[in-house]
A = this chain, B = another copy of it.
């Protein structure tokens, strides 16, 4: 069975968190809008159709006849199927809880350059973004990374990964989050990274997973850019 991922083309965005899980598991999937000429109209149709369970926004995943929206819900679903989450229900929920916190960080990272409205251009909210980005860089990035550092510093978790012995989708997502922070705020991150050595080590461990390394070197992998969630505007990293 081939999974179908629906996401906007041309940016890694929230779709990337799903791609990393599919790639790590070696699961068969198509990135519908990128891989098929009719992908965009299929995406629009699924969002506007009268299904009982319509997605609110991309990304969403088609798994057989099911359509699942919300990045964290997609990963909750895939975590079980692709063995990217612990089997123990409490640890499984904990993995999801970490993912929801990553989702909050992603939303705030987008808000740093779009504090006024998602529907407006960055150019229409530059002064506001300048203030929002300063607070995000100085207060929120250390708070989020500090939380993960604390988790990784706790030896009771039973292994080198966030949820214990085996890599989970939360590890893959933390990799993408940190890479996004580095892309958007290289100067600020230079100052922060020494405070979070365990997070940095985890990011490097994810990068070296054979399937992830192969994916990152492939044309399937999209670089960050200024259409995405993590955008590098030098004036927001000053």
Contact = CB atoms under 8 A, between A and B. Distances in A.
Nearest to A77: B93
Interface in A77-91: 77, 90
Q: Main SS of the interface on chain A? A: helix
Identical chains in the assembly: 2
A52 B156 contact: yes
B131 A117 contact: yes
Given A128-B115, A131-B117, A68 B97 contact: yes
A120 B140 CA distance: 13
Interface stretch (A34-42, A100-108, A206-214, A230-238): A100-108
Contacts of A139: 117, 119
A73 interface: yes
A178 interface: no
Interface stretch (A5-13, A19-27, A147-155, A218-226): A147-155
What band does the interface of chain A fall in when counting residues whose beta carbon is under 8 Å from B?
35 or more
A134 to B, nearest CB: 8
B97 A116 contact: no
Count chain B CB atoms within 10 A of each CB in A50, A51, A56, A68 and give the residue with the most. Answer: A56
A20 B129 CA distance: 36
A49 to B, nearest CB: 10
A144 B11 CA distance: 24
Interface of A: 50-54, 56, 66, 68-70, 72-73, 76-77, 90, 93-94, 96-97, 100-101, 104, 107, 111, 115-120, 125, 128, 131-132, 135-136, 139, 147, 150-151, 154, 156-157
22 contacts: A52-B156, A52-B157, A53-B94, A53-B97, A53-B151, A54-B151, A66-B90, A68-B93, A69-B101, A70-B96, A70-B97, A70-B100, A73-B96, A73-B97, A111-B115, A116-B128, A117-B132, A119-B135, A119-B139, A125-B131, A128-B131, A128-B132
Given A117-B135, A118-B135, 14 more contacts: A52-B151, A52-B154, A52-B157, A53-B94, A56-B147, A69-B97, A69-B101, A107-B107, A115-B128, A116-B128, A116-B132, A117-B136, A117-B139, A128-B131
